[in-house]
Amino acid sequence: MSHTRAVRPPRALLAAAVVACAVAAIPLAYLLVRVGAAGIEEVIAVFGRPRVPVLIANTVLLAASVTLTTVAIGVPSAFLLARARLRGRAVWTMLAALPLAVPSYLAAYGWLAALPWMQGFWAAWFVLTLVAVPYVTLPVAAALRAGTTGLDDVARTLGRGPLAAFRLGTWPQIRPAVLAGALLVCLYTLSDFGGVALFRYQVLTTAIQQAYGASFNRDYAAILATLLVLLAVAVVVGEQVARGRAARQFGAVTGPARQRRVRLRRWTVPALALLLVPPALAVAVPVTVLVVRLFEAQTLRAVDAVELGSAVANTVLLSASGAVVAILLALPIGILAARYRGRVVRAVETTGYLALGLPGIVVGLSLVFFSLAVVPVFYQTAFVLAFAYGVLFMPKAIGGIRSATAQVPTSLEDVSRTLGNGRTRTWWFVTARLARPGIAAAALLVTVTAMKELPATLLLRPTGTDTLATELWSRTDVSAYGAAAPYAVVLLMVAAIPAFLLSRARTGEFDEAVP
């Protein structure tokens, strides 16, 4: 069965995607303006700095190694969650999602407090890997649940060993999910500042922060940010090329979703360790350190319940609104990428992803620039902040929407069209209904990420409005860790809710719908 269409995309869909793409390009347009203001001499001077090649090399090294490690941990974890006979599967799946609730700056802070000698590349690699593994584990587990082991069986019958059979039968089915997860991890690592800065590992984002922090030189910051965008383009295009190949292989997969579950036997202990250790290191260590700090601290002040309550409410409302914006922006891009091929489609999808490769402060400033120029009435209102979350995190939704849509056979849409339904109606009644779990998962992923966001929130929030992340920041900023601990713990608990729901989100509904 064919999952993509050879014909040209409908005009309305393309138009919607181009609009979403234009929104995603706001930060890029802003960077162009700033780099233009800097002039060519300054751009050349930046490359003359002895430190800049080091920064680029460090950034690439970190992004590549974190991505590879998360795949190495995430794929086997996903296999265990989806295909092994496991007692308490739901609990293990929830544990696997839990690191999503931990902001990288909090994990880094916790580890550094526990082990003050942690520093440099290894420390940054370790902590970012811990918090980023779920980006691979969750989509791959979902793909495994939706897939079939029938092809593995055929390969075994023909005399292949279990690993070779997996490579031939299952791997092509999960490869798009692995690539999509790896892409998110890679872009996340490129743009992360908080986790890296504490370990004194110098990358482009830390240099960007310094450019704002000491030089008050936003042109230099913009030039460095443009370098990050170029790296992000290379990563996104690389993923598209790899996925293009995978899609052709996937085309051969047919047959009913039949799954055989593996008995673990003597592998039980190492398997459970693989599932237990990353979440324990990502979550338990920082939480323990914070609680210890809470009892050690001499600046312990009573927690203002009203303040805490309003921070929780703001965090939930803003991040949920941000998720709605992100989904609305990502839908046309995701559908386009799932159903159509071609240069325009690739360009639209690439642009959609780029904001994720930029640090929050750059995206935040670009929206200050944009909202003052276009909708000054809404400047410093919750609307612009929710919109900013949408721009920042729509890339996290594109992949999920794309793969959820791609799983719906186009033949079903054709049937609906034959019965006289229009394109939009078909989409709502057939495609959206079947792709809904995937779209819901994408929304949850955006929500949990937006809850932890700090730099853009500081720039764009309505004056006087606090979220859990800003409350946490204002306390750790003066090393009042005792006073910060309750906010950190509440942030983890609130963010754990969408992470938990995400672990339960299944793309499997499709299996029942199409026997």
Give residue for tokens 């793309």. 507
Minimum gap (Å) between residue 177 Cβ and another protein: 27
Minimum gap (Å) between residue 90 Cβ and another protein: 29
User: What's the CA gap between 251 and 245, in Å, rounded?
Assistant: 10
- What are 487's two structure tokens? 């906010």
Minimum gap (Å) between residue 64 Cβ and another protein: 23
User: What's the CA gap between 442 and 453, in Å, rounded?
Assistant: 17
Helix (H, G, I), strand (E, B) or coil at 84: strand
Residue number with CB closer to another protein (260 or 301):
301
Minimum gap (Å) between residue 218 Cβ and another protein: 6
Residue number with CB closer to another protein (267 or 429):
429
Minimum gap (Å) between residue 6 Cβ and another protein: 26
Residue number with CB closer to another protein (250 or 383):
383
Residue number with CB closer to another protein (182 or 327):
327
Minimum gap (Å) between residue 94 Cβ and another protein: 26
Minimum gap (Å) between residue 316 Cβ and another protein: 9
Query: Residues of 303-317 as b/e, b for ≥16 C-beta within 10 angstroms?
Result: eeeeebeebbebbbe
Helix (H, G, I), strand (E, B) or coil at 262: strand
Residue number with CB closer to another protein (51 or 85):
51
Give residue for tokens 């230099």. 220
User: What's the CA gap between 368 and 318, in Å, rounded?
Assistant: 17
Per DSSP (E only), the strands in 121-181 are none
CB 185 within 8 A of CB 168: no
Residue number with CB closer to another protein (134 or 486):
486
Minimum gap (Å) between residue 359 Cβ and another protein: 12
Residue number with CB closer to another protein (242 or 300):
300
**Residue length, the chain?**
515
- Helix H or strand E segment including 382: helix 382-406
Q: Which of 508, 485, 512 is nearest to 93 (CA)?
A: 508
Residue number with CB closer to another protein (240 or 310):
310
Minimum gap (Å) between residue 479 Cβ and another protein: 5
Residue number with CB closer to another protein (476 or 507):
476
What does residue 262 show for φ and ψ, rounded to 5 degrees?
-90, 140
The contacts of residue 103 (CB under 8 Å, 6+ apart) are: 131, 194, 452, 454, 469, 491
Q: Which of 402, 411, 513, 448 is nearest to 143 (CA)?
A: 402
- What are 416's two structure tokens? 């609906």
- What are 215's two structure tokens? 């030089």
